[in-house]
Every structure is written in C-alpha cells, then in structure tokens.
Copies of this chain bind each other. A is one copy, B any other.
Amino acid sequence: MHKPYYAVIFTSTRTTGDKGYGKMAEFMELLAKKQPGFIGIESAREKTGITVSYWESLSAIHDWKQQADHVLAQKKGITDWYNSYTVRICLVEREYNFNKNT
C-alpha cells in the first residue's frame, strides 16, 4: 500500500511565441524538485499542455504555490504565457502499473 498522496493536474493552452516560457518552465521544474514533499513531475504538450506533479500533502502543494519565484512565474503565466489553464488538486486513491521489462 502507498501512503496517500496528491496529484496536481495543470492543463493549459499557450499564447503564441516563447516569451521566455521555455526557460522559466525548466527553472520551475528544478525548483519544484527542491520543495519539501515533492514526489515527481511529468509533462507533455501538444495542442494542450498537461503537467502532473505529485506531492506528499496538501500543505506541500500550498507551500509550492506560495514559493516566491513560483509566484512570479504564475503572474507571468497570466499576463504573457497562457490563454487558459486549469489546476486540479486531486487525492490519488488507487494506482497500478505495467512495465514490459520487469
């Protein structure tokens, strides 16, 4: 059994042009990995971008949301980078895996 943990599903559509987005996204991922309670992160973008990050607790998610550089990035997200986004904070209730090589 896993300890209960949380997933934050961030789905977004971008504005046109990079405008410093790529660099900041990389930096945010590095910073997130240093946050207490961080478990992991996965991203993919086509028409929609989806980033899922995993956290040990709601308070870890809250602290990351308040992290100073992340707050700045959130502001730039609204003014420059995103046409739209949705953040969903989710309790992972069950999971299962398949791996060909194990």
Binding site for B on A (CB under 8 A): 6-7, 9, 11, 15, 42-50, 52, 58, 77-78, 82-101
Contact = CB atoms under 8 A, between A and B. Distances in A.
A17 to B, nearest CB: 14
Contacts of A98: 77-78, 82, 84-86
A84 B99 contact: yes
A9 B7 contact: yes
Contact of A42 (B50, B84, B87): B50
Contacts of A49: 44
Contact of A97 (B15, B46, B85, B96): B85
B52 A42 contact: no
